[in-house]
């Protein structure tokens, strides 16, 4: 034993243990996010509990089981809970999501299992996904179609009617965001045009009349669309549904607030799987609702992707040029050493410092000057002098510059010198050698760098909080209004969405599954990008190893 | 023929030209990286620098040969119109800009009914002036301005408003003796006055107005108390703007009365301002600072003292906090008057000869000293935005521009203890903003820097042992096929967005650890023990079984062990809790041990940020250990050393600079990390090493406060300074790490 200790073998095992701990924490973390994120989409069974509380009141609770935990009996007894029978060390407690937010005090309830008299998952229990006030749970009683009460074949009819209402709502929404949005945008442009003429001192009567005429035309157009909009909305309001909730009361809900209905207790696993896929799809393509705590994350995905692409366009040329300089042109001089240290330092500077720099330099100084030169008509309202898409992309471009440089340089250093010498010997200039031989060969390395940069930028939040991300952006940075790409706009971002919904939302409990789902989405994207980058890099290493010998 | 060769030459020269262009272009691109770093450095510096700029006062215009003797002077917010008041109730407005500059534009006499006997100005931010007539009736006026736009041009029209009615308010005092001196303060519906009568008696009176239901007129009731405790020659009286305190300053004493309840006015403090009564030093001036918590007292020897009320466990006290001394030519001469700013803690002290000294109390700084006029200054006031002072001396009205943007910030104030108003002692405090205008900002970078280091320390405590051990094992002992899988996994760990780590730490880990605190401690103890036991068990296994698993798979063997031990530790947690901590560890810690327990505490930050730092340390240290030439370790092994001895005595020693740089890089990352600390702590700027309490770090502080700070304000610049501090810190750390690494690389290349 002593000898064994002396050999140092236990310490080797300890270091091995450190590796195990790291591996378990990484894998555990990924599994945790995946399981929590994916269960969000799974149509869970709806339970019905008949309970008798301590005061002897019997009631029914209907809802999804959200969480289970063990509570020490001692603690419960101290807080005033009385048990009829003796209990073990701990008692199980359930967190039930009961929904029906407008009819109950809290849409989440803790329930001690000792109170439960009977538990079942009866068929016919429906979950109504609503555009307001979260889910509604209850039994479908009857449907009011166009003023007439229908009780036969109601499940199928309900599905049809909901589809109709959703379609009408979508049409109304499209009209509002599309045509009406465009008119509002035009109005604003006209106002700015008038102001511009005013500032330049050439606002003649004629110009004024012209603008006025355009405004009138827009107004007329607006009125017709508005009429159409109200028509759609009225049509959508036609039907409603009567539901029996857990208090046993009948509740009437207009169908235009209902987005979907499912009967999870009646579904087979295959059907549930289908519903699961449908929910994931909805999560990706829908807009968020109810202060981001419900609905999808489409604008956040769009904002993230758009910003990252813009950043990639900015960072690639600069990163590649810097790497080419360091590896191909610079000798081993003092300047090169300083530049190398700069690259390392740029990589090490905390991201929040980039945010501060971006806010001060890009937004206030640069953006402020742009506003004064090119958008004086909008002042004092800022156009570019406020956090936005362009500044975020630029800030992250500086942040990820070192990633591209390091990766590209590594790629360049793996290209055998013989290839360059061969090209030069055939009479090509250095620039031609670079352009025709070296860069094409290094392109996978550049790609790797770019992918890593994109992965880094997609997950970075701290600087974006200062230079352009908002919790709710009314418009996307890309739309049908001239000039189509609006780089001055603020945008939503997946990472910030996680922070905002998880920490700033009024109903954290209700929002938590959504945060897990968003995290899962973000982690999936980033891990996939990284694995691709690592794969390309390893492949490249093997390839050039073969070339070298 | 010649044309082709021409063409060839031409293409040749264009090719060369292109080559040259490419060369310079690429070089410029390379240098640009350096420029980017320098740009960040200098831009941050450029924003920060004005904070430390000295104040500047510069005379702009004079209006000569005033016909009246004015008792008080002031200027409106835009510095466009000045107004001066005489003791007898005349208010004159002078234009300072525009085509009427220097002219008297309005002169108005107030309706005081009879002979005015006393005059006083309120605290500057109220802008009120009070007159008392022979019948002991009070009239309060406010010179005001109306903005009009005749012909689309902005124009200011001065007028006099009467916030407490145009008719005089009776003090209901003994009409035998007239009032010859008074001071007052007002709030919404009441007025507090200290008045001295010609029989040298002194009273505190509170006037309270109430609207009469029928006539809709305001009826005033007066409630007077004679202040009898005063001895000596009264020099100055002051009423605090919330009417809760009255101050009376004699030539050597300071009396503070509690006047919150007008029917029960009592003496709170009576302090001797002159320690040595035999010296011929006297109190010569006194005034309230903005915010009205501090009294500044000036002495005949050129010393100024700041006094305020403190509130501590030992009760309330009125204490001298700090002192200032006139400097330059004014050194040692008597302080004639003290003028406070509107909202900040800056004040100006003037001497008989017209020298002025500008001080700021919080930063204990003398900001400027010089002369505005020859001879005694009759009256002086700051402009509301503190960007000008207006003064009257020698029948001349002078406007001077003041550049004093950031008086509250000094380098020492940022890093040393400062005694803030109302605090029982000097302390490090970060409290940047509040709802009120005259709030004393508390900018001490110490608590947030402390928080940064604390967070980094706990993270490093967690990350360094695990990161380094894992790196050593992976680089030195691990089988290559396992390594191929382990390295990318850890690299993935590095790529995980910190916002996700922070979110999990704050919303998942924090409650889990709170519930299973004994489990965590248990895990820390059990894990090493079980690992060693497993190792011993494995060591004693028959060789047959051992040989089925190749060498360097130890960590894979340990995987299930770690999982089982963690599960056990956590499921044993409630039992241990029951057994040792009365069933609730959290309560036990707060009640029995008396330690504050935050759910989001340093332990959580340590684990979460440690998790973010492990991959940084791991990958650099792993590289360093792996690149130690095999010849060295093989030599050692050949001489009979065991694997472990070779590792400790040869490999680690050679790789130590690389390991050092790994730890430094990790530290740099931990110090700058924002999202994890933002989400996993309570973000309270406290200074305490306790593992169960949170902290606020520099980076989180920037993220929280930057969006709300006003561009160009001291707060904004100090946040930039915080960023600059982070920048410099990580710069130094990274540069050292990189230097060490490069040295190491050169050393190996020769081996």
What are the residue boundaries of the structural domains of chain B, listed by start?
A: 445-750
Contact A303, A477 (CB under 8 A): yes
Average pLDDT over residues B324-339: 87
Return the number of other C-beta atoms located less than 10 Å from residue B8's C-beta. 10
pLDDT digits (tens, 9 = 90+) for B477-491: 888 888 888 888 888
How big is chain B, counted in residues? 751
- CA–centroid distance for A312 within its chain: 19
List, as ranges, residues 662-701 from B with C-beta within 8 Å of A. 665, 668-669, 671-675, 678-679, 699
Distance CA A81, CA A78 (A): 7
Q: Which residues of B touch A22 (CB under 8 A)?
A: 466-467, 470, 490, 493, 614, 618
Of A344, A350, A431, the CB nearest to B699: A350
Across the interface, do A348 and B665 touch by the CB < 8 Å criterion? yes
Q: What is the CA radius of gyration of chain B?
A: 37
Distance CA B476, CA B479 (A): 9
Please report, rounded to a whole number, the percentage of residues in chain A having pLDDT higher than 90: 24
Average pLDDT over residues B470-479: 90
Instruction: Tell me the pLDDT band of B6, cut-offs 50, 70 and 90.
Output: low
Residue A79 distance to chain B (closest CA, Å): 12
Q: Please report which residue ranges of B627-713 form alpha helices under DSSP H.
A: 630-638, 643-646, 652-672, 675-680, 698-705
Residue B670: the pLDDT is: 92
List, as ranges, residues 617-636 from B with C-beta within 8 Å of A. 618
Among residues A266, A286, A315, the one where a domain terminates is A266
Task: Please calculate the CA angle B722-B724-B728 and round it to the nearest 5 degrees.
Answer: 120
Residue B378: the pLDDT is: 87
Q: CB distance from B732 to chain A under 8 Å?
A: no
Across the interface, do B465 and A18 touch by the CB < 8 Å criterion? yes
Contact B615, B493 (CB under 8 A): yes
Q: Which residues of A touch B480 (CB under 8 A)?
A: none
Is pLDDT above 70 for B5?
no
Shared-domain flag, residues A218 and A342? no
pLDDT digits (tens, 9 = 90+) for A322-376: 999 988 888 778 888 888 888 888 888 999 999 999 999 999 999 999 988 888 8
Among residues A266, A293, A314, the one where a domain terminates is A266
Does residue A54 belong to any structural domain of this protein?
yes
Higher confidence at residue A471 or residue B277? A471
Report the SS3 class of residue B173. coil
Q: What is the CA radius of gyration of chain A?
A: 31
Instruction: Tell me the pLDDT band of B610, cut-offs 50, 70 and 90.
Output: very high
Higher confidence at residue A179 or residue B720? B720
Q: Please report which residue ranges of B394-549 form alpha helices under DSSP H.
A: 411-415, 445-472, 480-495, 498-504, 510-515, 517-539, 543-548
Contact A406, A449 (CB under 8 A): yes
Is pLDDT above 80 for A199?
yes
Average pLDDT over residues B609-614: 92
Across the interface, do A519 and B470 touch by the CB < 8 Å criterion? no
Q: Which of B14, B48, B465, B499 to mutate to test the interface with A (most CBs of A within 10 A)?
A: B499
With residue A157 as reference, give the H or E element that holds it: helix A154-175
- CA–centroid distance for A493 within its chain: 6
Shared-domain flag, residues A226 and A98? no
Using a 10 angstrom Cβ sphere, with 0-12 exposed, 13-18 middle and 19 or more buried, the burial of residue B411 is: exposed
Residue B578 distance to chain A (closest CA, Å): 9
Is pLDDT above 70 for A547?
no
Shared-domain flag, residues A381 and A415? yes
DSSP code of residue B55: P
Please report, rounded to a whole number, the percentage of residues in chain B having pLDDT higher than 90: 20
Is pLDDT above 60 for B4?
no
Q: Which residues of A touch B486 (CB under 8 A)?
A: 19, 23
Q: What phi, psi does A259 have (nearest 5°)?
A: -100, -35
List, as ranges, residues 409-468 from B with C-beta within 8 Å of A. 465-468
Distance CA A270, CA A283 (A): 20
Residue A394: the pLDDT is: 94
Shared-domain flag, residues A92 and A145? no
Distance CA B601, CA B693 (A): 5
Average pLDDT over residues B576-603: 80
Cα dihedral B702→B705→B709→B711 (10° resolution): 20
Average pLDDT over residues B45-74: 87
Q: Which residues of A touch B15 (CB under 8 A)?
A: 429, 432
Nearest C-alpha in B relative to A451: B495
Of A8, A329, A466, the CB nearest to B644: A8
Distance CA A182, CA A479 (A): 9
In 3D space, the residue among B118, B136, B226, B261 whose CA is nearest the CA of residue B182 turns out to be: B118
Strands (E), A195-353: 240-244, 250-254, 258-262, 288-289, 294-295
Of A7, A25, A349, the CB nearest to B730: A349
Is pLDDT above 60 for B2?
no
Does residue A8 belong to any structural domain of this protein?
no
List, as ranges, residues 481-500 from B with C-beta within 8 Å of A. 486, 488-493, 495-500
Distance CA B599, CA B603 (A): 10
Does residue A40 belong to any structural domain of this protein?
no
Superfamily of domain B445-750: MetI-like (1.10.3720.10)
Is pLDDT above 80 for B751?
no
Nearest C-alpha in A relative to B642: A7
Residue B663: the pLDDT is: 93
Q: Which residues of B touch A527 (CB under 8 A)?
A: 492, 495
Nearest C-alpha in B relative to A27: B489
Q: Per the structure block, which two tokens stand in for A533?
A: 């980058």
Across the interface, do B734 and A345 touch by the CB < 8 Å criterion? yes
Across the interface, do B723 and A460 touch by the CB < 8 Å criterion? no
Shared-domain flag, residues A118 and A149? no
Instruction: Tell me the pLDDT band of A74, cut-offs 50, 70 and 90.
Output: confident
Nearest C-alpha in B relative to A14: B531
Average pLDDT over residues A81-86: 72
In 3D space, the residue among A509, A498, A487 whose CA is nearest the CA of residue A465 turns out to be: A498
Shared-domain flag, residues A117 and A145? no
Of A7, A90, A523, the CB nearest to B642: A7
Is pLDDT above 80 for A86?
no
Does residue A286 belong to any structural domain of this protein?
no
Domain count, chain A: 3
For A217, half-sphere exposure in the C-beta direction (CA atoms, 13 angstrom radius) is 8
In 3D space, the residue among B453, B443, B214 whose CA is nearest the CA of residue B345 turns out to be: B443
Residue B604: the pLDDT is: 92
Distance CA A41, CA A280 (A): 6
Distance CA A302, CA A298 (A): 6
- CA–centroid distance for B647 within its chain: 49
Across the interface, do A20 and B731 touch by the CB < 8 Å criterion? no
Residues 6 or more apart in contact with residue A362 via CB below 8 angstroms: A391, A394, A395, A467
Residue B1: the pLDDT is: 44
Residue A342 distance to chain B (closest CA, Å): 6
CATH code, domain with A435: 1.10.3720.10
Q: Which of A6, A17, A412, A530 to mutate to test the interface with B (most CBs of B within 10 A)?
A: A17
Residue pairs between chains A and B whose CB atoms are closer than 8 Å: 333
DSSP code of residue B278: T
C-alpha separations of A181 from A172, A177, A473 in Å: 12, 5, 14
In 3D space, the residue among A462, A488, A288 whose CA is nearest the CA of residue A370 turns out to be: A488
Does residue A220 belong to any structural domain of this protein?
yes
Average pLDDT over residues B569-585: 80
Across the interface, do B466 and A18 touch by the CB < 8 Å criterion? yes
Tokens 């295959």 -> residue: A270
pLDDT digits (tens, 9 = 90+) for A273-311: 999 999 999 999 988 888 788 888 999 999 999 999 999
Across the interface, do A401 and B555 touch by the CB < 8 Å criterion? no
Domain residue limits at A258: 141-266
Does residue A292 belong to any structural domain of this protein?
no
């Amino acid at each position: 034993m002593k000898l064994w200790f002396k050999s140092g073998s236990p310490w080797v095992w300890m270091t091995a243990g450190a590796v195990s701990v790291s591996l378990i924490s990484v894998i555990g973390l990924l599994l945790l996010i995946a399981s929590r994120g994916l269960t969000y989409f799974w149509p869970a069974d709806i339970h019905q509990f008949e309970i008798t509380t301590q005061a002897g009141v019997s009631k029914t609770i209907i809802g999804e089981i959200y969480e289970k935990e063990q509570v020490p009996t001692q603690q419960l007894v101290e807080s005033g809970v009385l048990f009829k029978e003796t209990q073990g060390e701990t008692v199980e407690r359930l967190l039930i999501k009961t929904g029906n937010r407008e009819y109950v005090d809290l849409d989440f309830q803790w329930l001690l299992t000792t109170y439960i008299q009977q538990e079942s998952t009866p068929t016919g229990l429906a979950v109504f996904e609503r555009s307001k006030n979260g889910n509604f749970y209850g039994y479908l009683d009857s449907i009011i179609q166009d003023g007439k009460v229908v009780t036969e074949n109601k499940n199928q009819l309900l599905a049809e009617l909901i589809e109709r209402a959703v379609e009408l709502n979508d049409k109304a929404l499209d009209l509002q965001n599309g045509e009406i949005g465009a008119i509002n945008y035009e109005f604003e442009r006209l106002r700015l045009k008038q102001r511009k003429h005013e500032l330049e001192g050439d606002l003649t009567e004629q110009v004024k009349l012209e603008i006025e005429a355009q405004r009138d035309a827009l107004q007329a157009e607006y009125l017709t669309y508005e009429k159409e909009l109200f028509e759609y909305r009225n049509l959508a309001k036609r039907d409603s549904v009567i539901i029996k909730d857990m208090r046993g009361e009948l509740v009437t809900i207009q169908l235009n607030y209902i987005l979907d209905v499912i009967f999870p207790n009646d579904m087979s696993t295959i059907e549930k799987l289908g519903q699961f896929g449908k929910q994931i799809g909805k999560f990706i393509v829908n807009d968020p609702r109810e202060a981001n705590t419900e609905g999808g994350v489409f604008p956040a995905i769009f904002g993230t992707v758009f910003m990252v692409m813009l950043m990639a366009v900015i960072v690639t040329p600069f990163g590649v040029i810097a790497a080419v300089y360091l590896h191909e042109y610079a000798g081993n001089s003092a300047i090169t050493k300083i530049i190398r240290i700069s690259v390392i330092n740029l990589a090490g500077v905390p991201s929040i410092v980039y945010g501060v720099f971006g806010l001060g330099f890009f937004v206030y100084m640069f953006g402020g000057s742009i506003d004064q030169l090119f958008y004086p008509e909008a002042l004092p309202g800022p156009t570019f002098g406020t956090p936005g898409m362009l500044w975020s992309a630029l800030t992250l471009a500086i942040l990820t510059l070192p990633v591209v440089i390091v990766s590209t340089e590594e790629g360049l250093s793996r290209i055998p010198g013989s290839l360059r010498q061969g090209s030069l010997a055939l009479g090509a200039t250095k620039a031609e050698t670079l352009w025709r031989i070296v860069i094409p060969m290094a392109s996978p390395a550049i790609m790797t760098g770019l992918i890593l940069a994109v992965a880094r930028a997609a997950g970075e939040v701290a600087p974006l909080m200062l230079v352009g991300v908002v919790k709710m952006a009314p418009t996307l940075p890309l739309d049908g209004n001239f000039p189509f790409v609006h780089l001055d706009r603020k945008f939503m971002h997946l990472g910030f969405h996680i922070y905002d919904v998880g920490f700033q939302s009024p109903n954290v409990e209700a929002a938590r599954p959504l945060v897990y789902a968003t995290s899962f989405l973000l982690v999936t994207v980033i891990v996939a990008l990284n694995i691709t980058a690592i794969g390309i890099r390893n492949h490249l290493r093997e390839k050039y190893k073969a070339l070298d010998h | 023929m010649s044309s082709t060769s021409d063409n060839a030459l031409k293409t040749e020269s264009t090719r060369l030209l292109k080559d040259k262009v490419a060369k310079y272009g690429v070089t410029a691109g390379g240098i640009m990286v350096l420029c980017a770093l320098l740009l960040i450095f200098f831009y941050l510096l450029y924003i920060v620098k004005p904070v430390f700029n000295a104040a500047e006062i510069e005379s702009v215009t004079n209006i000569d040969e005033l016909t009246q003797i004015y008792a008080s002077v002031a200027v409106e917010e835009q510095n466009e119109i000045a107004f001066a008041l005489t003791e007898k109730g005349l208010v004159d407005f002078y234009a300072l800009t525009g085509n009427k500059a220097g002219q008297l534009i309005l002169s108005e006499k107030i309706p005081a009914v009879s002979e005015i006997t006393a005059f006083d100005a309120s605290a500057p931010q109220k802008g009120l002036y009070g007159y008392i007539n022979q019948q002991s009736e009070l009239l309060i006026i406010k010179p005001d301005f109306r903005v009009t736009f005749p012909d689309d041009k902005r124009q200011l029209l001065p007028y006099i408003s009467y916030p407490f009615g145009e008719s005089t308010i009776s003090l209901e005092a003994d009409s035998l003796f007239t009032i010859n001196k008074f001071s007052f303060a007002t709030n919404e519906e009441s007025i507090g006055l200290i008045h001295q009568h010609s029989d040298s008696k002194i009273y505190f009176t509170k006037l309270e107005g109430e609207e009469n239901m029928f006539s809709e007129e305001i009826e005033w009731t007066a409630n007077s108390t004679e202040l009898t405790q005063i001895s000596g020659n009264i020099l100055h009286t002051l009423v605090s703007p919330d009417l809760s305190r009255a101050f009376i300053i004699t030539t050597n004493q300071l009396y503070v009365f509690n006047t919150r309840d007008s029917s029960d006015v009592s003496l709170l403090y009576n302090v001797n301002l002159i320690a040595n009564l035999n010296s011929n030093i006297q109190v010569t001036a006194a005034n309230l600072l903005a915010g009205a918590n501090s009294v500044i007292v000036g002495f005949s020897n050129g010393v100024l003292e700041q006094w305020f009320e403190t509130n501590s466990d030992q009760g309330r006290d009125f204490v001298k906090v700090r002192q200032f001394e006139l400097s330059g030519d004014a050194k040692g001469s008597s302080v004639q008057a003290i003028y406070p700013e509107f909202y900040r803690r800056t004040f100006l002290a003037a001497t008989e000869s017209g020298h002025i000294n500008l001080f700021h109390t919080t930063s204990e700084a003398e900001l400027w000293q010089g002369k505005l006029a020859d001879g005694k200054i009759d009256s002086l006031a700051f402009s509301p935005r503190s960007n000008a002072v207006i003064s009257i001396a020698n029948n001349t009205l002078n406007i001077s521009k003041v550049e004093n943007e950031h008086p509250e910030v000094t380098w020492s104030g940022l890093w040393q203890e400062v005694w803030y108003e109302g605090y029982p002692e000097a302390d490090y405090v970060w409290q940047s903003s509040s709802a009120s205008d005259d709030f004393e900002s508390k900018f001490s970078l110490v608590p947030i820097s402390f928080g940064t280091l604390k967070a980094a320390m706990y993270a490093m405590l967690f990350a360094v042992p695990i990161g380094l051990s894992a790196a050593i094992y992976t680089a030195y002992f691990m089988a290559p096929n396992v390594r191929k899988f382990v390295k990318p996994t850890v690299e993935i760990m590095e790529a995980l967005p910190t916002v996700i780590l922070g979110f999990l730490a704050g919303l998942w880990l924090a409650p889990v650890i709170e519930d299973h605190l004994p489990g965590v401690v248990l895990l820390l103890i059990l894990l090493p023990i079980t690992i060693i036991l497993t190792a011993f068990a494995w060591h004693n296994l028959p060789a047959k079984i051992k040989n089925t698993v190749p060498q360097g798979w130890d960590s894979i063997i340990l995987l299930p062990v770690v999982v089982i031990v963690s599960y056990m530790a956590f499921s044993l947690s409630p039992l241990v809790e029951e057994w040792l901590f009365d069933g609730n560890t959290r309560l036990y810690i707060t009640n029995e041990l008396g330690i504050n327990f935050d759910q989001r505490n340093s332990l959580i930050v340590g684990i979460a940020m440690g998790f973010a730092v492990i991959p940084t340390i791991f990958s650099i240290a792993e590289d360093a250990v792996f690149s130690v030439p095999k010849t060295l370790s093989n030599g050692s092994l050949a001489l009979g050393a065991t694997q472990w001895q070779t590792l400790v005595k040869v490999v680690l020693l050679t790789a130590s600079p690389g390991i050092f740089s790994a730890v430094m890089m990790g530290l740099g990352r931990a110090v700058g990390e924002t999202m994890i600390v933002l989400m996993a702590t309570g973000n309270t700027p406290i200074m305490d090493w306790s593992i169960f309490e949170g902290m606020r770090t520099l980076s989180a502080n920037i993220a929280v406060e930057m969006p709300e700070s006003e561009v160009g304000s001291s707060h904004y610049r100090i946040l930039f300074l915080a960023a600059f501090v982070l920048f410099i810190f990580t710069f130094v750390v990274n540069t050292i790490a990189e230097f060490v690494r490069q040295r190491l690389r050169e050393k190996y290349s020769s081996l």
